[in-house]
Structure 1
């Protein structure tokens, strides 16, 4: 009997599926701190398996970004349209077909599969027992000391012919859920904006005497102090063409009366002005839960962001990206969904254990009944003061997200993240142990993410030291917080940073044992630059408080870069986009105030020390706006 070509093709596929051996794809060596294994997951329960497909041309992503971001490139500033970005990196048809054919051959009906609109994910709705057969694994239910539960496994395998098409599978080994405080109200684990979670500003409380003169900048940082420190005296000229975005995660919320109170003292021209709200996945400026833990971050970010980009008048709008509804919250991936429609995974992709899944009105009372996929054009500069420990996340998860920041860079967007407030330790002062776990008594340095992503600009913290003036050199912040900095355990050293890091290791390499930090010289180092992070005057719930943190440093740098963009746009040039290749180049030498005093202790050590040149405490130093402006105006 003659066989049709279609039959032969199916037979060939079936043979290849059977012949392809399984290989280990991801494995976890330990349970994160606070988690215990409760029980084997019920085999009959349903599980939404999501396969993150390997994107096309990711191996070229770095070179493509450098082509538009390197100041020596003839294509500097030739940023891509979003449509070109989406088309270039969409997973190939071969990847979609390979994973789909394997699932069909393994008994997953086509009706139980969904392919995301951007073809980045395939979801298979299967039972736990079926998932275990597909992945050669065992699914457990894990319980945290705070009461939250998590479904996952210790490791999983994929057929060899499928593994090359898949970045990661969820749920699996990933424990990138963020937890509530013990004893707090029960909330979803994925709210990265939850008070007490991740990078958050610190306060020493309210005070009654408010100083507005430069001679008090060692005890109270105000906008006039920052303008004097960094030379930011600039009136916007092209505000209608420019944009600056601040990201907040519900339930964090700013208070308009506090914003007005701040501006009555420091910028009367913008009293009554509000940021332009972009609600992402039901993001709302809630006013039910108040206090420093809920209002401190957003008030800090917006009071300084709006003031610093509006000198002697109100011209430049600031966009507030408020992410996540009250019942569910959100993650960084939910923000990226809204900024880049090709990353949006509605109908099949965001990790239900780590990301907000929308619409959620069926799961939560008063939940957001919609989805925010590519709903807004990204601002030219986006500042975020939240973060994870790198070890909270899997290498596949961080790499996939980091690639999205590179895509934003291709589109001409500058992304800045605060570097953390615990020196060489991670959030909550956790340090690593030899098995990869995180504890307070760990001895191994614990880097932060997304700061370690080579496609964001990581911002550390400095201070005007007690008794010093704004005309004196700053030092690394050692009041209340320590500037986060160090070397990634996941990401390789980017080319733009090689000379700076090599110089640091040659002249100032620490004497710590190689086992407590990544001393190879081949990993991404951070922060990139810094700004003041101590003694900020912030209006919170009708009183002024002193606030500390790289949470303050990031929006200050964002505001400075926004004003650089304004000047370029005013003369018909493009926004500066991804700035790291520029700021590390010889052309920008001397454009930063070098910080040579202080350190960033943590993990039972003095941490690293600020030294001449780049260092893993304050990076290249603090910005000199006049020098940066002059250099960027000379670039195409």
Structure 2
């Protein structure tokens, strides 16, 4: 069919006249993971002249091959099993392409940002720029607001933000934007005009960390009493831990603590005096991350000392004479978050002048009185062969982009030979404090009915550790049950992460043989998502010394450092045999080759959200 010239001119002229505005090609890149709870109130628009430290996380090369690369190194049947990569190899493998850097820079310059204001980090992973709120809102087609907590704390956030269609594939996430921290935390960037400091990851809370019922335990129970009182002797008998490390100068085991959490030296000696006399006077080796220090005099009480006391009393006792490293994260003003300790063990994860998630992490230098006024701790130590962390957050409070980018970093640590352990939480299928997800609004609430998984435990590149217990009236020589005393072991299915290949057979068998009696309205029952925890260890009735007394504590907070101690001893044996550390653990523990090393827990539930599960 012929088209008349005059019609073609009119048609093209019409198209030219209808050329869309610059924003017409924008697409939404991220939305807030969930709306703030009723404790937060929208206060006002953020002042347009306020300066924000904008960070553009660039899309990494080979990121679609993370699982493939990690499995080739970590699966016991792989011909390259145990051939871990150097930090330099990891950086080179995942650094963004030159095209990605050029596209993002060109977009910023074309939007009116002077080239000299744009900084590129050493590993090319981030582009940084200090921008006014007005500039940031223009770049991202969004609005920043101030939210006020009922405590008086304030945070900034936008509900969503957009990027040009041609730029979007080259950016993983932008911050500060939608990453609203639902629990009060000053671990994030708050402009000077809004600085009303609040809690942080390590801030005392009835939800995070071990639990106690205040019961005074028997100090030296027999093995017949381990159903009531767990001691190091109970754990040795329960898991057949009779091994003395020999490679103490080569092996490494780190435990992460977030300021203001801190052990008390007098508590350690009180515990050691009863259960490990050779350790009296010994302390973990402090690695100060972003100003983190041993601060016993400023804050005392179970909520400040319970986690650290527990972690080091048991970890140091079980791996003696192996040294244990304390990765103390954050100063007393900003505190710290997960990204901060990752920065410290992997320089490729750092960014200039901070760049961690402003609502989750400490931002350094911290110029506030008493703050850590120095560059952030970036690659200050090699990653320990095992790292245990007994802290977490509800997965719903993290956007997929934030969670995935952090999860990929755990994969990189695994490629370099590090086992990363995270406690799976203490509220069964519910989130912190027993909150679940409202199926209609997506908000966290005590009346919610949708299960609320824990992050980073849901990341498929960490080993999530749940809790068991010696069943009442039973002994350490009989099968354990899932923890159901004071706590319920956290577990379930992710709402973000796909099922990793290493657990596909085990999870599908579970879903087919023991189908949960719940629907998609209550949890992600697609059968294609990450299940957690990966393994479990005793987490009930631990005897610890705390603030000059012995008490019983409960939690996956206890299970994680105990598993870390066992893996540290496995690494010691491997090093003695001329091998390297085990690194990423999960492919091995799901492999039939290692099935005999584990007991299947068939008793108990991990209740929550009004349902047994």
TM-score tier after normalising by the smaller chain length? over 0.9
Aligned-residue Cα RMSD (Å) equals 1.9
1:334 to 314, 334, 340: 340
- 2:560 corresponds to which of 548, 554, 574: 554
Indicate whether 1:44 and 2:53 are aligned.
no
**Equivalent position SS for 2:172:** strand
- Equivalent position to 1:413, from 391, 415, 418: 418
For the structure 1 residues 208 and 431, does the alpha-carbon distance in structure 2 shift closer, same or farther, using more than 3 Å as the test?
closer
Residue in 2 that maps onto 1:31: 35
Give how far 1:21 is off: 1.4
Name the residue aligned to 2:306.
296
Structure 2 Cα separation of the partners of residues 176 and 89 of structure 1: 29
- Quick check: 1:243–1:381 contact (8 Å CA) kept in 2? yes
Q: For residue 20 of structure 1, report the CA deviation from its aligned partner.
A: 8.2
On the 8 A contact 1:135/1:157 being kept in 2, the answer is yes
Normalised to the residue count of structure 2, the TM-score between the two structures is: 0.92
SS in 2 for 1:593: coil
Residue deviations 1:478-525, cap 9 Å, x none? 000000000000000000000000000001011112210111100000
Please say if residues 115 and 348 of structure 1, whose CA atoms lie closer than 8 Å, have aligned partners that are also in contact. no
Q: Is the 8 A contact 1:346 1:358 kept in 2?
A: no
- 1:262 is paired with a residue whose SS is helix
Tell me the distance in 2 between the aligned counterparts of 1:123 and 1:197: 37
Is the CA contact (8 Å cut-off) linking 2:34 and 2:396 kept in structure 1? no
Q: Which moved more, 1:142-151 or 1:369-378?
A: 142-151
Q: Secondary structure at the match of 1:403?
A: helix
- Supply the distance in 2 between the matched residues of 1:187 and 1:261 (Cα, whole angstroms): 38
Q: Which residue of 1 aligns with 2:480?
A: 474
Q: 1:346 aligns with which of 349, 352, 358?
A: 352
- Give the equivalent residue in structure 1 for 2:200: 191
Distance in 1, Cα, partners of 2:20 & 2:383: 44
Alpha-carbon distance between aligned partners in 2 of 1:305 and 1:254, rounded to the nearest angstrom: 13
SS in 2 for 1:382: strand
Note if 1:450 corresponds to 2:460: no
SS at match of 1:205: coil
- Cross-structure match for 2:12: none
Report deviation, 1:371.
2.1
> Which consecutive residues of structure 1, in runs of 5 or more, have no partner in the other structure?
1-14, 609-636
Partner of 2:395: 390
- 2:590 aligns with 584
Deviations 1:518-567 (A, max 9, x none): 11100000000000010000000110000000000000000001101111
The answer as to 2:266 corresponding to 1:257 is yes
Picking from 51, 56, 60, the partner of 1:55 is 60
Equivalent position of 2:380 in the other structure: 375
Alignment of 1:567-582 (within 5 A): 567-582=573-588
**Residue 99 (structure 1) aligned with residue 70 (structure 2):** no
Name 2:123's counterpart in structure 1: 118
Distance of 1:388 and 1:515 partners within structure 2 = 22
Larger mean Cα displacement after TM superposition, 389-398 or 54-63: 54-63
Seen in structure 2, the aligned counterparts of structure 1 residues 281 and 187 have a Cα distance that, compared at 3 Å, is farther
Question: What secondary structure is seen at the aligned counterpart in 1 of 2:92?
Answer: helix
C-alpha deviation, 1:177, in angstroms? 5.9
Q: TM-score normalised to the size of structure 1?
A: 0.89
The question of whether the paired residues in 1 share the 8 Å contact of 2:354 and 2:364 is answered with no
2:36–2:182 contact (8 Å) kept in structure 1: no
- Structure 2 regions of 5+ residues with no counterpart? 1-18, 187-194
Q: Note if contact 2:154-2:196 (Cα within 8 Å) is conserved in structure 1.
A: no
Q: Counterpart in 2 of 1:623?
A: none
Shift of 1:19: 9.8
Q: Of the candidates 260, 263, 277, which is equivalent to residue 286 of structure 2? A: 277
How many residues in Structure 1 have an aligned counterpart in Structure 2? Answer: 584
Shift of 1:436: 1.5
Partner residue in 2 for 1:139: 144
Deviations 1:361-382 (A, max 9, x none): x234343423210000111111
Q: Which residue of 2 aligns with 1:4?
A: none
Deviation at 1:124, TM superposition (A): 2.2
- Contact 1:50–1:348 (Cα < 8 Å) also in 2: no
Q: Secondary structure at the match of 2:214?
A: strand
1:3-22 alignment, distance < 5 Å: 21-22=25-26
- Is this contact kept in 2: 1:116–1:347, CA < 8 A? no
**8 Å Cα contact 2:33-2:398 kept in structure 1:** no
TM-aligned CA distance change 1:262 to 1:451, over 3 Å: same
Establish whether residue 325 from structure 1 lines up as the match of residue 334 from structure 2.
Answer: no
The aligned residue for residue 488 of structure 1 is 494
Residue in structure 1 matched with residue 602 of structure 2 by the alignment = 596
Deviation per residue, 1:272-328 (Å, 9 max, x gap): 111111110000111211010000000000000000112xxxx21111100101111
1:76 aligns to what SS in structure 2? Answer: coil
Q: Please show how residues 131-210 of structure 1 align to structure 2 within 5 Å.
A: 131-176=136-181, 178-179=183-184, 188-189=197-198, 191-196=200-205, 199-207=208-216, 209-210=218-219
SS at match of 1:516: coil
Are 1:566 and 2:592 counterparts? Answer: no
Q: Distance in 1 between matches of 2:599 and 2:217?
A: 33
Asked whether the equivalents of residues 35 and 144 of structure 1 are also in contact (C-alpha less than 8 Å), the reply is yes
Q: Which moved more, 1:386-395 or 1:131-140?
A: 131-140
Query: 8 Å contact 2:34–2:397 — kept in the other structure?
Result: no
Corresponding residue of 1:233: 242
Q: Following TM superposition, by how much is the alpha carbon of 1:73 offset from its aligned partner in structure 2, in angstroms? A: 0.5
What's the CA shift for 1:236?
0.9
Q: Is the 8 A contact 2:434 2:608 kept in 1?
A: yes
1:70 correspondence with 2:75: yes
Cα separation, partners in 2 of 1:487 and 1:30, compared to 1, 3 Å: closer
Pick from 543, 567, 571 the counterpart of residue 537 of structure 1. Answer: 543
